[in-house]
Amino acid sequence: MRDTGDPHSAEAADTAVLARRIERIAGATLAAFVPLTGRLHARLQSLPAADTAALLRTLQDTHHAVRDAHYREALPRWLRWLHTPRAPGRRFQSDCRDALACCTRVTERSQRLAGQHPPADAGTRLEPLLDESLEALDRVAASVAKAQALLATLWGGLRPQRPDPADAGSLDTLRSLLAEVDGQRLVLQRLDSGCAAAHDVARLGRAVLAGRTELLALADARFTRAWDDWRARIEPLVGEDLQPEQLRTGAREATAARRGLLLVLEQMRAVCTRLQIDEQALAQAQVQLAEQLAGLPPTDPDMTMPGTRAPAPSHD
């Protein structure tokens, strides 16, 4: 009987023929999946780890320091008995020096992150590989779904079958077929789980790269401009010979620049927090993918899935 490819029309198909078809689909899918996912796993593992946690701590410390670097008016006389505060001007200058030092650390850690980020050279960029991997994984998932639908049809045809009492070999044949189909079921389940894990790795890898790029763009552009503007207004106020009125007036003039710097720091904190979460999720997804790959059976290099090209040799 000719197999039309429709699982519903395959109910009357010979079970052995249907089992061979499932085996071919599973083998070709496995042969395409393993090298693709192995290369993806290796490339993302070679991605330099960034100390995002240290950068986030620096951003938080800097945000607090800049927020505190404002001129506080002297307490009223009737409240001074509570404690003996420093002179408002000296406290303002000390807070500004602390904030300037924190901003310097933001620049240093951002430059360190830039050194750990993959270069923008077209030959080594990860983005095209991630996009291609996601497209290929979609094809793999479609093939797995097709094979699982055929497997469900096959199980439906096998369930009512009974060995022929007049045929001594029919029991062994049925047992052999059941064992083979059960093995294909296990392969398809592992492929399905592996495809989901690989999809998570590719998606999270793309999110990590995008997060690093966004954070570096903020550090290089908006943060640099906002810091230079605020520093230009603050540095003349940290000298020793300024009068209280000069400090008070200069601090008020720097308010707008301070507000702009705080906004940029808050945005960088949000991006860095999201990046840290994505990096941790990527590390966990990499472990899960490695476990899935280790559980897959050996592949036949001569089999290729329809519509999927064999991967080019990697020189990474």
Percent of the chain scored above 70 by pLDDT?
Answer: 77
CB 227 within 8 A of CB 145: no
Q: Is residue 149 situated within a structural domain?
A: yes
Q: Is residue 266 situated within a structural domain?
A: yes
Q: Quick check: 157 pLDDT over 90?
A: no
Give 266's contacts (C-beta < 8 A, 6+ positions apart).
63
Cα separation, 212 vs 52, whole angstroms: 9
- Amino acid identity, position 35: P
Q: Quick check: 167 pLDDT over 80?
A: no
Q: Is residue 148 situated within a structural domain?
A: yes
Concatenating the DSSP letter of every residue in 37-104 gives HHHHHHHHHTSPP--HHHHHHHHHHHHHHHHH-SPPPPPPGGGTTS--PPPHHHHHHHHHHHHHHHHH
Cα separation, 305 vs 311, whole angstroms: 12
Residue 14: CB atoms within 10 A of its CB come to 12
Cα separation, 10 vs 1, whole angstroms: 9
> What is the tens place of the pLDDT at every residue in 27-46?
888 888 888 888 888 888 77
CB 296 within 8 A of CB 191: yes
CB 213 within 8 A of CB 274: no
Rounded CA Rg of the chain: 32
Q: Is residue 14 situated within a structural domain?
A: no
> What is the tens place of the pLDDT at every residue in 117-150?
765 543 457 788 888 889 989 999 999 999 888 8
Q: Quick check: 15 pLDDT over 70?
A: yes
pLDDT band at 4 (very low <50, low <70, confident <90, very high): very low
> What is the tens place of the pLDDT at every residue in 51-75?
888 999 999 999 999 998 887 765 4
Q: Quick check: 83 pLDDT over 80?
A: no
pTM of the model: 0.73
Number of domains in the chain: 1
Q: Quote the pLDDT of residue 126.
A: 79
pLDDT band at 313 (very low <50, low <70, confident <90, very high): very low
Q: Quote the pLDDT of residue 71.
A: 77
Q: Quote the pLDDT of residue 47.
A: 75
* For residues 264-271, average pLDDT: 96
The terminus-to-terminus CA distance of the chain in angstroms comes to 49
Tell me the residue range of the domain where 263 lies: 26-73+84-159+191-294
Q: Quote the pLDDT of residue 264.
A: 96
Percent of the chain scored above 90 by pLDDT?
Answer: 29
Q: Quote the pLDDT of residue 162.
A: 64
**Which of 254, 286, 180, 268 has the alpha carbon at shortest distance from 218?**
268
Q: Is residue 251 situated within a structural domain?
A: yes
Q: Is residue 7 situated within a structural domain?
A: no
Q: Quick check: 304 pLDDT over 90?
A: no
Residues found in the chain:
316
Cα separation, 202 vs 43, whole angstroms: 11
Tokens of 199: 């999809």
Q: Is residue 165 situated within a structural domain?
A: no
Tokens of 158: 């096998």
Mean pLDDT of the chain: 78
